[in-house]
Structure 1
Amino acid sequence: MGKTQGDAAGGDAFDEMLAELAERRQEFREQCYVPRDFVARLKRLGLYRASTPERFGGETLPPAEFLRKIERISAVDGSTGWVASFGSQLVYLGSLPLETQAEIYSDGPDVVFAGALFPVQQATPTERGFLVNGRWKFASGCMAADIVCVGIPGDDSTSGRPRGALVRPERLEIVRDWDVVGMRGTGSFDLVAEDVEIGREWTFIRGGEPVIDEPLYRYPAITYAAQSLSVVSAGVARAALDFAEQEGAGRASITGAPGLADRAYYRAGIAEAEAALRSARAYFYEAADEAWRELAAGRLVGDRHNAHMRLSAAHLARTASEVVHKVVSLSGTAAIYHDHPLQALLGDALVPQEHAFLSPAMYDAAGAVLMGRAPTVPAFR
Structure 2
Amino acid sequence: MVQARGGVELDEVLAELVARRWEFREQRYVSKDFVAQLKRLGLYRVATPERFGGERMSPAEFLRRIERISVVDGSTGWVASFGSLPIYLGSLPLEAQEVLYADGPDVVLAGALHPAQRATPTERGFLVNGRWKFASGCMAADIICVGIPGDDALGRPRGALIRPERLQIVQDWDVVGMQGTGSFDVVAKDVEVDREWTFVRGGEPVIDEPLFRYPAIAYAAQSLSVVSAGVARAALDFAEEVGSGRASTTGAPKLADRGYYRAGIAEAEARLRSARAYFYEAADEAWEAVVAGGQVGEEQNAHLRLSAAYLARTCSEVVHQVVSLSGVVAIYRDHPLPALLGDALVPQEHAFLSPAMYDAAGAVLMGQPATIPAFR
TM value normalised by structure 2: 0.98
Q: Give the alignment of 1:173-192 within 5 angstroms.
A: 173-192=168-187
Answering whether residue 105 of structure 2 is matched by residue 77 of structure 1, we say no
Corresponding position of 1:149: 145
Corresponding position of 1:258: 253
Cα separation, 2, equivalents of 1:308 and 1:244: 31
Corresponding position of 1:238: 233
Q: Following TM superposition, by how much is the alpha carbon of 1:9 offset from its aligned partner in structure 2, in angstroms?
A: 9.0
Find the residue that maps to 1:185 and give its secondary structure: coil
The amino acid that maps onto 1:77 is: D
Structure 1 unaligned residues grouped into runs of 5+: none
Answering whether residue 28 of structure 2 is matched by residue 32 of structure 1, we say yes
4+ long deviations beyond 3 Å: 6-12
What count of residue pairs does the alignment treat as equivalent? Answer: 376
TM value normalised by structure 1: 0.97
Aligned partners of 1:123 and 1:153 also within 8 Å: yes
Q: Give the alignment of 1:84-163 within 5 angstroms.
A: 84-155=80-151, 157-163=152-158
After superposition, what is the alpha-carbon deviation per residue over 1:50-99, rounded to whole angstroms, capped at 9, x for unaligned?
11000000011100000000000000000000000000010011111110
After superposition, what is the alpha-carbon deviation per residue over 1:3-59, rounded to whole angstroms, capped at 9, x for unaligned?
9xx959989710000000011000000000001100000000100001100000001
Q: What is the identity percentage for the equivalent residue pairs of Structure 1 and Structure 2?
A: 80
Corresponding position of 2:12: 16
Answering whether residue 341 of structure 2 is matched by residue 346 of structure 1, we say yes
Corresponding position of 1:220: 215
Q: Following TM superposition, by how much is the alpha carbon of 1:207 offset from its aligned partner in structure 2, in angstroms?
A: 2.1
Cα separation, 2, equivalents of 1:11 and 1:65: 19
Find the residue that maps to 2:9 and give its secondary structure: helix
Cα separation, 1, equivalents of 2:153 and 2:10: 41
Answering whether residue 40 of structure 2 is matched by residue 44 of structure 1, we say yes
Q: Give the alignment of 1:365-380 within 5 angstroms.
A: 365-380=360-375
Aligned partners of 1:158 and 1:205 also within 8 Å: no
Corresponding position of 1:248: 243
Find the residue that maps to 1:186 and give its secondary structure: coil
Structure 1 residues 8 and 93 mapped into 2: Cα distance closer, same or farther (>3 Å)?
closer
- Cα RMSD of the aligned pairs, angstroms, is 1.3
Find the residue that maps to 1:136 and give its secondary structure: strand
Aligned partners of 1:56 and 1:102 also within 8 Å: yes
Aligned partners of 1:96 and 1:210 also within 8 Å: yes
Q: Give the alignment of 1:167-316 within 5 angstroms.
A: 167-316=162-311
Aligned partners of 1:132 and 1:198 also within 8 Å: yes
Find the residue that maps to 2:115 and give its secondary structure: coil
Cα separation, 1, equivalents of 2:89 and 2:211: 12
Structure 2 unaligned residues grouped into runs of 5+: none
Q: Following TM superposition, by how much is the alpha carbon of 1:238 offset from its aligned partner in structure 2, in angstroms?
A: 0.2
Cα separation, 2, equivalents of 1:15 and 1:29: 21
After superposition, what is the alpha-carbon deviation per residue over 1:98-121, rounded to whole angstroms, capped at 9, x for unaligned?
100000001100000000001111
Find the residue that maps to 2:146 and give its secondary structure: strand
Question: Aligned to 1:56, which of 48, 52, 73?
Answer: 52
Structure 1 residues 78 and 8 mapped into 2: Cα distance closer, same or farther (>3 Å)?
closer
After superposition, what is the alpha-carbon deviation per residue over 1:113-140, rounded to whole angstroms, capped at 9, x for unaligned?
0000011111111111110101000000
Find the residue that maps to 1:327 and give its secondary structure: helix
